[in-house]
Amino acid sequence: MNIYGDNIMSVAQVIETQKQVPTRDDIITGEDSAKNHIWTPVSHSNFLEALMIGFDNHCIKVLNSSFGFNKKRGGEQGHTMVGGFELQGPCLPEMPGNLDANYQMFVRHANDMSLGMQLRGGFNLMVCTNGCMTGELIGSHKHTSGFDVYSWANDVAIDAFVEDCEKQVTHVRSLKETVCSEQQFDTIVRRALADEIMPAARVRDLVREWEKPRYSSEDFEHHTAWKAYGDMTYVAQKCSGDTHLRVLDKGSQLVRDVCGVDELCVINEAAVEEGSLF
């Protein structure tokens, strides 16, 4: 779980300190469209508290959490919060093939009406306080009149997360069960370079990891699409933030296309929004 930004807090710190929400006067200037909306703000504290109650009701344990906040001009803390949870629980499916990982949920929320609530799911996610995130979008909600964040978190958001975890397992199994021949891997390498998914220096690292694995020697069976994508994500950790995100996004699709992974089984590709990580 990778959180990039300043003002990093734990979930307990957010719940304790981030109880205030802006007034209309704080956010409406001139002809700002916000003045025409029915706006019911939700504090960061209530948002995360609602999720924590939902986790507890579903017997989901929070193993780790971290949250950061954007900055206004002048260095003041802004209204947008990003962060995530590392989660474990009996309602979540077993990791396929003894995969050494935990499910993660990332959140993004702005209590000034510039952004509603967003939830994203995955195995190893990245988020930055400028709003750039990875992971499949699994839930969102605007600050509408009459909205009950506690009911939404417990009855909608957590169930959507559990369902997404099932999809992630299907995704991993399909990659693990699909052959990646030497010829197919060669095609992946050439396209990764031609499509500028990975820089040339990292492509060389990718070939070395495939041929003489260090990271993937035990957990990734050779000649599988799972190993090809695992090698790409491992090598991508050596890249800049932007390139890392690009590999997570486009590398998964490239491996699936070349290896012919069943598209119906592959639902949880990384969805990277436009914008620079730093």
Could you tell me the pLDDT band of residue 38, with boundaries at 50, 70 and 90?
A: low
- Render pLDDT for 114-162 as a digit per residue (tens, 0 to 9): 777 888 887 765 555 555 556 667 888 877 777 889 999 999 999 999 9
| Enclosing domain of residue 123 | 2-169
Final residue before a domain boundary, out of 116, 151, 169 = 169
Q: What is the pLDDT of residue 271?
A: 38
pLDDT at 265 over 50: no
| Residue 96 resides in a domain | yes
Is 271 within a domain? no
Q: 272 in a domain, yes or no?
A: no
Do 18 and 91 sit in the same domain of this protein?
yes
Count the domains in the chain.
2
Residues 115 and 214 reside in one and the same domain: no
The pLDDT value recorded for residue 87 is 93
Supply the pLDDT for residue 68.
86
Backbone angles phi, psi at 87, to 5 degrees: -125, 155
Task: Record the pTM.
Answer: 0.74
For residue 54, what pLDDT band results from cuts at 50, 70 and 90? very high
Q: What would the DSSP string read from start to end of 121-190?
A: EESS-EEETTS-B-SEEEEEE---TT--HHHHIIIIIHHHHHHHHHHHHHHHHHHHTSB--HHHHHHHHH
Pairing of strands 77-88, 61-71: antiparallel
- Does 277 map to a domain? no
For the chain, how many residues are written?
278
Residue 81 has a pLDDT of 87
Helix or strand (DSSP H, E) at 201: helix 200-211
